[in-house]
Amino acid sequence: MRSWYFTEQSYHPAWPKVVGDIRIDPPSALMDPVEASDLLNRYIDEWLLADELGLDLMVNEHHASMSCLSVSCTLTLAILARQTKKARLVALGIPALNRVDPFRIAEEIAYIDVMSKGRLEVGLIKGTDYELMVSNQNSARMNERYWEFHDVVVKALTHTGGPFSWEGEHFQYRFVNVIPRCYQQPMPPMWMPTFSPSSAREIARRDYKVATFISGHGAKSIFDAYRDEYRKFHKREPSLDKFAYTGLVAVGPDSKTGMARGHKVAAFSQATDRTGQHYRNPPGFRPAADNAKLLKSGADVSFVRHMLPSGKMMSSPPTPEEFVQAHMLFAGNPDEVFNQIKAFWEHTGGFGNLIVQMGGTMTAEESFDSISLYAKEVQPRLAELVREREKAAA
Amino acid sequence: MPPFPGTITVSGVKIELARKGRGRPLLFLHPGDDLAPTAPVIERLARGFEVILPVHPGFGASDLPRNFGTIDDLAYFYLDFMDRLDLRDVVLVGVSFGAWAAAEIAIKSTARLGHIVLADAVGAKFGPPDVREIKDIFTLTAVQLLDWLYRNPGRHAPRYTEMEEDDLLRVARNREAMQLMGWSPTLYDPKLRQRLHRIDVPTRLLWGAHDRIVPPDYGRQFAAEIPQAEFELIADAGHYSHIEQPDAFAAAIEDFAAGAARVRRAV
């Protein structure tokens, strides 16, 4: 098992100050730029510590959001590519639907891969629905645009014979020529996140890694669909390395401290639930038939309510203890955290990558300690779990 | 909603179509919500005209080909449509998004048009870039939008939770087609304003006095760009004056279309 340390680089001091939603609408006047600078530098230090302790690193981006100070995966990765030594680096991801220039994205990917000496992995994601409001990109026909974006990026990264032109439906270029070219040939490994089993099948056919975000027991149906399709299409078993799960994680020296930190990490999820429902699910984001059902139900938008494994709804807002039950948060002392992850790992059929999301409202001291405890006392046991499974399979 | 009585395939696109009444052809282009042939405004207009009521490509149950996705596609489609039916001296009526389509048709060719009525039109940009003139309907949920469309939503707006799923599928498709063609620039064509002078047949702009999607002053600016266009308010109506005041709306069209067609510009 590889563990990828991740913090969303929240500007959490604004959460109690913002009236209403923390995304799209909050005024930047509620942010102290000096405090933001301190936090950004601290978050880089967290990644550097995780690198030293043998973890890999995951980075993301959001826009117009107090949940995330990173406005570009590749900007953050450019720092980490130079400052870290051993860790593999995954962008999870680059939001294709919210970006307008796939050629530029390919250039940035290749640059980071060269700078890091081949340690980059690339998650090309669709992006969040509400951020289409900021990028001004259309949700109608977004799947066609996403796959054309993907095709431009892949061809740009792998084409080494001089410029090619592209005259597609959504993107047009006179000369595409990425220099420097990728350090890893032909290109870095590709990841794709999804929330749906049908998309997981598409990802399986393309032999990319599939990732899910804090989806709890829903991850099993996604991984099952991927495995099933992978076997059918490639006539072999997918390796565990093809699967990634993102969980909120908080480790303390003892059970009580670990769970107290869990409360702080879970504050992230509670804060990000504060997203304007009128910015969710713009037409075209989901199939018309699904939207007809939503209108009938009176729900109007695609609000995913959090559900416990029993099928019972969580409280509103959900408690951290409910998140633990739902495998969205792994929290406690190192033994407890390992056992929670192991139980979920077995339930889903196994995965080779765990995105370890901390952050929330934890202090710097709490974060550094939680990272250290995870790296020293949880990660080695998870790695052993995967090794044993692979030995048995061989 | 009762099913549309017919379909027609024009330029390879199959759409729903109703034809009702006898007389001079009146082509009615619906707004973001498609319109039932049984709507009071259509019943009333069918007393004096042959009302031709299509459902735009992508809306209702009409096809949406992969290569179709802009207001220009829609305008060229209706030029082909009028050729195909060999319509002459048409009274072209459009509401909201349908009025935008009507204006885009008319700047291309008025050869088959006798009179044009643009009701609560969107489609043109008059003000500075940092002032939004047309309400951004794409930042509203389907239910929130209803409050903006009607002067009296409690009386006129549909109740989605009480509707059949087939009809709700039409609503969902309507919304998706609007998103496709209207998302950005938001419900306008940057070139339309400078081309409105090409409209050389009598044109009347009808406007709900309480329209909050595009307030009446926007309509007056629209009218000012079209040579000798008339502007008329409809009392006690919001953006959908054809639903809230069907008789006043139809009467304004009947009265206008009875007037003489103006002399066309020399070619």
Residue pair A192/A211 in contact (Cβ under 8 Å)? The answer is yes
- The answer to whether the CB atoms of B165 and A140 lie below 8 A apart is no
**CB neighbourhood size of B155 (10 A):** 9
Whether B97 shows a pLDDT value over 70: the answer reads yes
Q: How many CB pairs under 8 A join A and B?
A: 68
Which residues in chain B have Cβ-Cβ distances shorter than 8 Å to A136? 184
Nearest chain B residue to A295, by CA = B160
**What's residue B1's pLDDT?**
63
- The answer to whether the CB atoms of B184 and A138 lie below 8 A apart is yes
Within an 8 Å CB–CB cutoff, is residue A100 touching chain B? no
- In tens, the pLDDT along B19-34 reads 999 999 999 999 999 9
Nearest chain A residue to B186, by CA = A136
Q: Which of residues 256-315 of A touch B (CB under 8 A)?
A: 277-279, 282-284, 288-289, 291-293, 295-298, 300-301
Within an 8 Å CB–CB cutoff, is residue B118 touching chain A? no
Residues in chain A: 394
Element (H or E) spanning A272, and its range?
A: helix A255-272
Nearest chain A residue to B64, by CA = A141
What's the rounded mean pLDDT across residues B195-220? Answer: 98
- How is chain A split into domains, by residue range? 2-393
**What's residue B154's pLDDT?**
97
In this structure, what is the dihedral angle of CA atoms B20, B110, B241, B13, given to the nearest 10 degrees? 60
- The answer to whether the CB atoms of A282 and B172 lie below 8 A apart is no
**What's residue B129's pLDDT?**
95
**What's residue A301's pLDDT?**
56
Q: Which of residues 68-87 of B touch A (CB under 8 A)?
A: 69
Whether A24 shows a pLDDT value over 80: the answer reads yes
- Strand pairing category for A2-6 and A353-357: parallel
**What is the distance in angstroms between the Cα of A285 and the nearest Cα belonging to chain B?**
9
The two structure tokens encoding residue A297: 């139900």
Whether A29 shows a pLDDT value over 60: the answer reads yes
- In tens, the pLDDT along A134-158 reads 999 999 999 999 999 999 999 999 9
Tell me the CA distances in angstroms from A113 to A48, A86, A185, A189, one per residue in order.
18, 13, 10, 11
Within an 8 Å CB–CB cutoff, is residue A138 touching chain B? yes
Rg (CA), chain B: 17
Nearest to B15 by CA among B30, A301, B263, A31: B30
Within an 8 Å CB–CB cutoff, is residue A83 touching chain B? no
Whether B263 shows a pLDDT value over 60: the answer reads no
Residue pair B62/B15 in contact (Cβ under 8 Å)? The answer is yes
Q: What is the CATH number of domain A2-393?
A: 3.20.20.30
Which of B68, B168, B173, B187 is the mutation pick for testing A, counting most A CBs within 10 A? Answer: B168
- In tens, the pLDDT along A280-296 reads 999 999 899 999 999 99
Whether B264 shows a pLDDT value over 70: the answer reads no
Whether B181 shows a pLDDT value over 80: the answer reads yes
Q: Which of residues 163-182 of B touch A (CB under 8 A)?
A: 163, 165, 168-169, 171-173, 175-180
Whether A298 shows a pLDDT value over 90: the answer reads no
Within an 8 Å CB–CB cutoff, is residue B160 touching chain A? yes
What's the rounded mean pLDDT across residues B73-98? Answer: 98
**What's residue A305's pLDDT?**
59
ipTM, two decimals: 0.92
**Residue among B69, B138, B176 whose CB faces A288 most closely:** B176
What's the rounded mean pLDDT across residues A165-172? Answer: 97
**What's residue A215's pLDDT?**
81
**What is the distance in angstroms between the Cα of A132 and the nearest Cα belonging to chain B?**
11
Max Cα separation, chain B?
55
**What's residue A304's pLDDT?**
55
**What's residue A87's pLDDT?**
98
**Residue among A278, A288, A295 whose CB faces B139 most closely:** A278
Which three-class secondary structure state does DSSP give residue B145? helix
pLDDT confidence of B151, banded at 50, 70, 90? very high
**What's residue B265's pLDDT?**
46
Element (H or E) spanning A123, and its range?
A: strand A120-125
What's the rounded mean pLDDT across residues B199-218? Answer: 97
User: Is the bond into A317 cis (omega within 30 degrees of 0)?
Assistant: yes
pLDDT confidence of B267, banded at 50, 70, 90? very low
Which of B176, B178, B181 is the mutation pick for testing A, counting most A CBs within 10 A? Answer: B176
Whether A318 shows a pLDDT value over 60: the answer reads yes
Which of A98, A143, A275, A296 is the mutation pick for testing B, counting most B CBs within 10 A? Answer: A296
Contacts 24+ apart (CB under 8 A), B82-90: B82/B27, B82/B112, B83/B112, B84/B8, B84/B10, B85/B25, B85/B52, B87/B25, B87/B27, B87/B52, B87/B112, B88/B25, B88/B112, B89/B24, B89/B25, B89/B113, B89/B114, B89/B261, B90/B24, B90/B25, B90/B26, B90/B27, B90/B114
Share of chain A above pLDDT 70, in %: 98
Nearest to B232 by CA among B212, B209, B262: B209
- In tens, the pLDDT along B220-253 reads 999 999 998 999 999 999 999 999 999 999 999 9
Least confident stretch, A189-193, A317-321, B54-58, B241-245: A317-321
pLDDT confidence of A380, banded at 50, 70, 90? very high
Which of A295, A296, A297, A303 is the mutation pick for testing B, counting most B CBs within 10 A? Answer: A295
